[in-house]
Every structure is written in C-alpha cells, then in structure tokens.
C-alpha cells in the first residue's frame, strides 16, 4: 500500500509580497508539510517566489463559467455548518490561471461560491475556485530565504547565460568565433 500515490495538493505561488497567490499545479504527498517540500522542488527551481501555499485538491470547489448557470450545485448552497473563511480565486483571461481575489465568510463551499459570484461582479470571471482558509498550508516567512533565494544565484539556469545567437552570427559572417 505504501507503493501507491498519495493525495493531491494544489500549489499556489506568490511572486512578490504585494501580489496575489497564483495557481501553479499539483503535487502528491503524504501530508501538507511534505507537499510543501515537493512543491518547492517541482515548481520553484527558478526565481522568484516569496511564498507558497499547498491546499488539498479535495478541499477546493470549482465552477467554470459553463457550470455557473447550472442549477445543480446552487441547490446545495443552503449549508447548515459553522461559518468560516473561504479564499476566492478566479481566472480572468483564457490564457491566464486562477489567482487570489479575496475572502468570503460562509458555512459551506457552495454558499461561499454563490457569495463570491455575487460579491466580485466587476470583472468577467471564467473559472471560480473557493476553499476554506484553514485548508491552506503556507510556507513560513522565516523560511523564504532558505527555500527560494538559492535559485537566484543559478545564472546558468537561464537561457540568457548562453550567447549562441551572437556566436552563430560571428560564424556565419567570419567562419569562426571572435576571440
């Protein structure tokens, strides 16, 4: 049984402290702490990140524009649980990805979704995500430098470190590289 895959966690990245968290992908891990470590290795091999979240995939409720009009999920919106905070994420452009836009307080995922759609009406949203804020495992501020800074020094991981266009231009023009 240890040879099977673990639960999925969604990975979110914050590039600058005043920017929203943005969805990046997923990792599998036995627990949130390990998910955070895997996410760092898989998604942050290059600059630049300030912080990272992992959220169990099963705790995220999503509604696409196409699903928004369907009645199915809206009927379940009358939850009876305790009110708590939900993060709201939205995708605004077809090329884009889901990014953090705010927080609502609700007693179920569906109620949070309905509230989000009613609250954030100023922009056309193509895809909505909500998840309870207590489902988030965040990287610690004190770990930021040890987790993300080392990659700042790896200049060779960037294509800019290889002047091949210039080299080829010299060879086409003179038949050899300039000294």
Partner 1 sequence: MYGASVDDFDLDQEENPEQLANFEARIARGEKIEPGDWMPSEYRRQLIRMISQHAHSEVVGMLPEGAWITKAPTLRRKLILIAKVQDEAGHGQYLYHAAETLGATREEMLDALLEGKAKYSSIFNYPTLTWADIGTIGWLVDGAAIMNQTMLARCSYGPYSRAMVRICMEENFHKKQGQEMVILLSQGTPDQKAMIQDAITRWWWPTLMMFGPHDSDSPNTPILQKWGIKTRSNDELRQDFINQLVPDLQALGITLPDPDLHYDDESENWITGPIDWDEFWRVIKGDGPVNKERMAARRKAHDDGLWVREALQAYAEKQAAEAMPA
Tokens of 69: 């009009």
Closer residue to partner 1 in complex, CB, 19/76: 76
Nearer to partner 1, 51 or 130 (CB): 130
**129 with 98: CB under 8 angstroms?**
yes
Are the C-beta atoms of residues 109 and 88 closer than 8 Å to each other?
no
Cβ proximity to partner 1: between 141 and 168 the closer is 168
Q: What are phi and psi of 139, to 5 degrees?
A: -70, 145
Q: What is the rounded CA–CA span in Å between residue 62 and residue 131?
A: 9
> Residue 83 CB, nearest distance to partner 1 (Å)?
18
What does the DSSP assignment read for 32-79? HHHHHHHHHHHH-SSS--SEEEEEEGGG-EEEEHHHHT-HHHHHTT--
Applying CB under 8 A, the residues found at the interface with partner 1 are 2-6, 8, 10, 25-31, 33-34, 41-43, 45-46, 57-64, 66-67, 72-73, 76, 91, 94-95, 97, 109-110, 126-127, 129, 154, 156-159, 161-164, 167-168, 171-172, 175-177
Least separation in angstroms between residue 102's CB and partner 1 is: 19
Please identify, using beta-carbon distances, which residue of 94 and 122 lies nearer to partner 1: 94
């Amino acid at each position: 049984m240890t040879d099977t895959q673990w639960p999925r966690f969604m990975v979110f990245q914050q590039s600058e402290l005043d920017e929203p968290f943005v969805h990046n992908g997923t990792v599998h891990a036995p627990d949130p702490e390990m998910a955070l470590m895997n996410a760092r290795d898989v998604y942050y091999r290059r600059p630049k990140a300030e912080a990272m979240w992992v959220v169990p995939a099963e705790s995220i409720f999503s509604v696409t524009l196409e699903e928004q009009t369907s009645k199915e999920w809206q009927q379940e919106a009358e939850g009876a649980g305790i009110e708590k905070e939900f993060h709201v994420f939205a995708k605004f452009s077809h090329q884009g990805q889901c990014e953090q836009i705010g927080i609502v307080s609700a007693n179920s995922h569906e109620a949070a979704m309905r509230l989000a759609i009613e609250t954030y009406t100023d922009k056309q949203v193509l895809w909505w995500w909500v998840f309870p804020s207590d489902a988030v495992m965040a990287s610690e501020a004190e770990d930021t430098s040890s987790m993300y800074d080392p990659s700042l020094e790896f200049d060779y991981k960037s294509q800019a470190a290889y002047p091949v266009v210039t080299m080829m231009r010299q060879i086409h023009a003179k038949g050899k590289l300039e000294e």
